[in-house]
Amino acid sequence: MNTIARNEEEQSGNRYSIDFSSSWKNGRRLPLNERINMFHVSMQKQNKEEQHLYMREIKSATDRTVTAVDATGNEREMLMFGSNNYLGLANHPHIKETVKKAINKYGVGIAGPPLLNGYSSLMKELEKRLSKLKGTEDTMIFTSGYNANLGLLYGLCTPHDLIIADEYNHASFFDGVKLLRGKCITFEHNNINQLENFLKTHKTDGDLFVAVEGVYSMDGDIAPLDKIIPLAQQHNAFTIIDDAHGTGVLGFNGEGAMEELRLKWSNEIIMGTFSKAFAVNGGFISGSREVIEYLRFMARTYMFSASLPPVTIAAVLAGIDVIENEPWRRVQLKNNVSFLARKLKRFGITTPPQAGIISLNVPKEANIRKMANDFNREGIFLNAIEFPAVPANKQRFRISISANHTNDDLKKLVNTIELVWYKHNIICND
């Protein structure tokens, strides 16, 4: 895919389980009441179990297991393979104790944006520690990773600039392009030759940006940054790296995808979130001191959003403590991923996993919702990724792995996958 302007449905990064393509007529969306009616009609066609595949109620802390409410309304313990809690920090005792102390000292909120009354001493400390972790000069904190992407693009880019982006970039990135009304060309996923061709042949009267992710969320593969960054530098392009799924997970020190590939920060603009390895909410941008200071005044999602509450910032600070002091968690996560990759290879892994994500292909003709219900019945909490979130021939189950998962947990998952595949007559590779 290499288009300057995507249509509105593509740019929206649709992540719903219902196909709303018929809600458009003659290039225009149907009136709101008609769209709402279409939505409810579609929902009524689903049985109770299918409706329960989303918005599943969890009634416990998130860990290797959770207590969830099933389709019958009963509570049951399930193995959690649907959370981005890669390092097991969501229920870590050090983090919980740190948050309790932060509540006693700072209260629960701050009620204002960073530029006014919302810049706390905890936020200042977190910016310094994140800059050290990522090897950059400075960092700024956003209320979400989504807002970080929107603020970054709207703050740095203009409609005269050209952005060359990997087609698998996150929906929030393309929403930022849409908000900006910017010019964006997408190159085929991790296709360095096509990226190089675009850099050579597409000229702009503004600035040039190359935007990729460190780890791609649907397949779990790493961008070849060791090739992308030099290419961008060669063509005087700014490199933007969304390292949401790499931060804390990859590299000897948990710096992320760049450290994993033995790269040192030069002048890249790095975005990340706290909703993955840190298991809370929030986002950040790290880069040069000049770029970050500029963005503090130009990123609207930073200027016009109240700061994260001190308790969340305290949780991230404590998470950095764990990343620094318990490196065995990254080792254990990699061991768990390697174990599952070997065991699941014959089931159709979309790509060799390199972080905490494994995706299993599901044939187009298979009923992925019935398969998801089977996982639920077997006590496996797993996320089904179906059309239109991905193309119909690329539907999959996305497995998120934690350092807290035990060998027995992983074996239970493998045995259940084997059971579900057999039940649905899906032939595995030998």
Whichever domain contains 270, its CATH number is: 3.40.640.10
Residues in Cβ contact with 121 at an 8 Å cutoff, skipping those fewer than 6 apart: none
3-state secondary structure at position 175: helix
- Are the CB atoms for 315 and 98 separated by under 8 Å? yes
Q: Are residues 208 and 289 in the same domain?
A: yes
pLDDT value, residue 271: 97
211 in a structural domain: yes
For residue 363, give Cα distances in angstroms to 366, 391, 398: 5, 12, 14
Q: Are residues 279 and 405 in the same domain?
A: no
Average the pLDDT over each of 211-215, 305-309, 329-333, 345-349 and give the range with the smallest value.
Answer: 345-349
309 in a structural domain: yes
4 in a structural domain: no
Tokens of 177: 């392009």
Q: What beta strand segments (E) does 237-345 contain?
A: 238-242, 269-273, 283-287
- In sequence order, the β-bridge partners of residue 385 are 396
Domain boundary among the residues 267, 291, 325 is at 325
Residue 52 DSSP label = T
Q: Are residues 232 and 362 in the same domain?
A: no
pLDDT grade, residue 364 (50/70/90)? confident
pTM of the model: 0.90
- In sequence order, the β-bridge partners of residue 349 are 360
- Are the CB atoms for 108 and 300 separated by under 8 Å? no
Q: Are residues 357 and 416 in the same domain?
A: yes
Q: Give me the numbers of helices (H) and strands (E) for the chain, helices first please.
A: 16, 15
pLDDT value, residue 71: 78
Condensed to tens digits (0 to 9), the pLDDT of residues 151-210 reads 999 999 999 999 999 999 999 999 999 988 889 999 999 999 999 999 999 988 899 999
Q: Are residues 170 and 314 in the same domain?
A: yes
pLDDT value, residue 22: 60
Whichever domain contains 386, its CATH number is: 3.90.1150.10
pLDDT grade, residue 107 (50/70/90)? very high
- Are the CB atoms for 380 and 79 separated by under 8 Å? yes
φ, ψ (nearest 5 deg) of residue 187: -105, 155
pLDDT value, residue 430: 62
Closest by CA position to 156, among listed 272, 235, 240: 240
154 in a structural domain: yes
Domain membership of residue 283 as a residue range: 93-325
* Pairwise CA distance, residues 39 & 247, whole Å: 37
Q: Are residues 335 and 368 in the same domain?
A: yes
Condensed to tens digits (0 to 9), the pLDDT of residues 245-295 reads 999 999 999 999 999 999 999 999 999 999 999 999 999 999 999 999 999
3-state secondary structure at position 197: helix
- In sequence order, the β-bridge partners of residue 132 are none
Q: Are residues 315 and 368 in the same domain?
A: no
pLDDT value, residue 20: 52
Cis peptide before 113 (omega within 30 of 0): no
Which secondary-structure segment (H or E) carries 127?
helix 121-134
Which secondary-structure segment (H or E) carries 61?
none
Q: Are residues 108 and 256 in the same domain?
A: yes
Q: Are residues 269 and 369 in the same domain?
A: no
Q: Are residues 354 and 309 in the same domain?
A: no
Give the pairing of strands 283-287 and 269-273.
antiparallel
pLDDT grade, residue 303 (50/70/90)? very high
Residue 331 CB: number of other CB atoms within 10 A?
11
Greatest distance between any 2 Cα atoms in the chain: 61
414 in a structural domain: yes
Domain boundary among the residues 308, 325, 342 is at 325
pLDDT grade, residue 15 (50/70/90)? very low
- In sequence order, the β-bridge partners of residue 272 are 284
Domain boundary among the residues 325, 342, 364 is at 325
φ, ψ (nearest 5 deg) of residue 334: -65, -40
214 in a structural domain: yes
Q: Are residues 402 and 304 in the same domain?
A: no
- Are the CB atoms for 226 and 259 separated by under 8 Å? no
pLDDT of 11 over the 90 cut: no
8 in a structural domain: no
Q: Are residues 206 and 309 in the same domain?
A: yes
| Domain count of the fold of the chain | 2
* Pairwise CA distance, residues 136 & 5, whole Å: 33
38 in a structural domain: no
* Pairwise CA distance, residues 200 & 275, whole Å: 37
pLDDT of 214 over the 90 cut: yes
pLDDT grade, residue 391 (50/70/90)? confident
